[in-house]
């Protein structure tokens, strides 16, 4: 059985890590195109520029990245990278049957993504 990650630790990492580190992790695990989609970008190459700290994302994209980081860490810890990629695009009952990726991409405020992390935590916690 895989031990669940401490959500407080993951939250702290998401908040205190530089956005370049967050983008790097997401790019390595999910891939550049998926991260671009989650962040609301049209140009996936911008994710690489963020990861290399050449450019900083706008506040809205940074918020999306930090929520995606938390969700990704939890799902990866329990099920691995491939499952995390699939989780973002699957229908999720905790998100009114929307895919987490869709919710993140269209989020305009923290209130729009408030259920992303609990949904990931519930999924990751179901390992057993």
pLDDT tens digits along 7-18: 889 999 999 999
Residue in this structure with the two tokens 């949904």, named with its chain if needed: 119
Cβ pair 91, 97 in contact under 8 A: yes
Residue 98 DSSP SS3: strand
Question: Domain residues of the chain, as ranges?
Answer: 7-124
Q: Is the pLDDT of residue 101 over 60?
A: yes
**What integer is the mean pLDDT of 20-27?**
98
> What is the average pLDDT score of the chain?
93
Check pLDDT > 70 for residue 1. no
Over residues 96-112, the mean pLDDT reads 97
pLDDT band at 4 (very low <50, low <70, confident <90, very high): low
25: left (phi over 0), alpha (psi -120 to 50) or beta: alpha
Residue 3 pLDDT greater than 90, yes or no: no
| The pLDDT of residue 79 is above 90 | yes
Q: What pLDDT is stored for residue 128 in this prediction?
A: 45
Q: Is the pLDDT of residue 127 over 60?
A: no
Which pLDDT value is given to residue 5? 72
b/e 72-100 (16+ beta carbons within 10 angstroms → b): bbbbbbbbeeebbbebbeeebeebeebeb
Helix, strand, coil in percent for the chain, rounding step 5:
70, 0, 30
C-alpha 56: how far from chain center: 17
């Amino acid at each position: 059985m895989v031990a669940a990650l401490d959500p407080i630790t993951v939250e702290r990492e998401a908040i205190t890590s530089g956005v370049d580190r967050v983008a790097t992790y997401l790019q390595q695990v999910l891939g550049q195109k998926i991260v671009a989609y989650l962040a609301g970008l049209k140009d996936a190459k911008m994710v690489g520029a963020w990861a290399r700290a050449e450019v900083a994302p706008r506040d809205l994209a940074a918020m999306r990245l930090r929520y995606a980081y938390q969700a990704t860490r939890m799902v990866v810890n329990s099920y691995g990278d491939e499952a995390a990629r699939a989780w973002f695009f699957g229908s999720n009952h905790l998100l009114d049957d929307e895919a987490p990726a869709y919710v993140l991409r269209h989020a305009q405020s923290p209130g729009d993504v408030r259920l992303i992390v609990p949904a990931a935590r519930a999924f990751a916690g179901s390992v057993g």
